[in-house]
Amino acid sequence: MSQVLFQQLANSLVDGDPDATFDLTKQALAQGIEPLAIINQGLVPGMNIVGDKFATGEYFLPDLIIAAEGMQRAMQLLEPELSRRQQELSIPGTVVIGTVKGDIHEIGKSLVATMLSANGFKVHDLGVNVPTDKFISAVQDSNADILGLSALLTTTMVEQQKIIQALKEAGLRSKVKIMVGGAPVTRSWAEEIEADGYAEDAMGAVRLAKFLVGGTV
């Protein structure tokens, strides 16, 4: 019985139907299926199929994003159940991410946040136009492994440098890895401001984040 449900859960991710993922997860919990089983036998196999289809060129970025959203919605139901059982998922790391002060461009940062959380990272998305001190306190409060800084404009890109400087002054620089991104950001800029890495796209950001927390690429 639960095998059918697991299959349907996986299919809902592959088909890009987050509402179905949400409903099926609810249904599975109502039937008394353990949250870890729902994750490991339904959701994860579904995400793996999506990942494989992307790797072979059959799937596109929107297919990944919509599957990731389905996954996130399922986790909203599953996380309270896990903590009620005092169970924990092993996560690759915690990420604080946001678009720097003076810049209200959202999509690049949000795509990276979605892809990171679909890959198991715990993501604190601070939104756009985020002042430096808010980044710093979020890094402190969440004990983040990675800080992601996004900027779309050449005029706001400089904020990335200011934030790294402020982290140094707060004595936090060695505690957190910093990834920078956005249209004007280049490898030489990332090196100049002593960020730990930069990526050209959301998938590259996931690979970089995994590398930065010490896993394999």
Residue among 7, 129, 132, 142 that touches another protein (CB under 8 A): 129
Distance between CA 215 and CA 206 in Å, rounded?
11
Other beta carbons within 10 Å of 90: 5
Within 8 A by CB and 6+ apart from 127, the residues are 98, 99, 106
Contact between residue 119 and residue 150 where contact means Cβ atoms under 8 Å apart: no
CA distances in angstroms from 209 to 67, 150, 196, 199, 216, listed in the order given: 20, 14, 10, 10, 10
Question: How far apart are CB 162 and another protein at their closest, in Å?
Answer: 10
Contact between residue 165 and residue 132 where contact means Cβ atoms under 8 Å apart: no
Residue among 48, 83, 87, 154 that touches another protein (CB under 8 A): 154
For the CA atoms of 135, 140, 146, 147, the dihedral, rounded to the nearest 10 degrees, stands at 10
Residue among 80, 133, 183, 214 that touches another protein (CB under 8 A): 183
Residue among 45, 51, 102, 131 that touches another protein (CB under 8 A): 102
**Tokens representing 83?**
């903590």
Distance between CA 154 and CA 100 in Å, rounded?
12
Q: Does 179 bind another protein (CB under 8 A)?
A: no
Binding span for another protein by CB under 8 A among 15-23, 44-52, 86-94, 147-155:
147-155
Residue among 37, 87, 104, 141 that touches another protein (CB under 8 A): 104
Q: Does 107 bind another protein (CB under 8 A)?
A: yes
Give the nearer residue to another protein in terms of CB position, either 105 or 177. Answer: 105
Q: Does 32 bind another protein (CB under 8 A)?
A: no
Question: How far apart are CB 149 and another protein at their closest, in Å?
Answer: 15
Binding span for another protein by CB under 8 A among 3-11, 19-27, 141-149, 182-190:
182-190
Give the nearer residue to another protein in terms of CB position, either 127 or 214. Answer: 127
Q: Does 184 bind another protein (CB under 8 A)?
A: yes
Instruction: Give the footprint of another protein on residues 57-96 (CB under 8 A).
Output: 57, 60-62
Contact between residue 50 and residue 63 where contact means Cβ atoms under 8 Å apart: yes
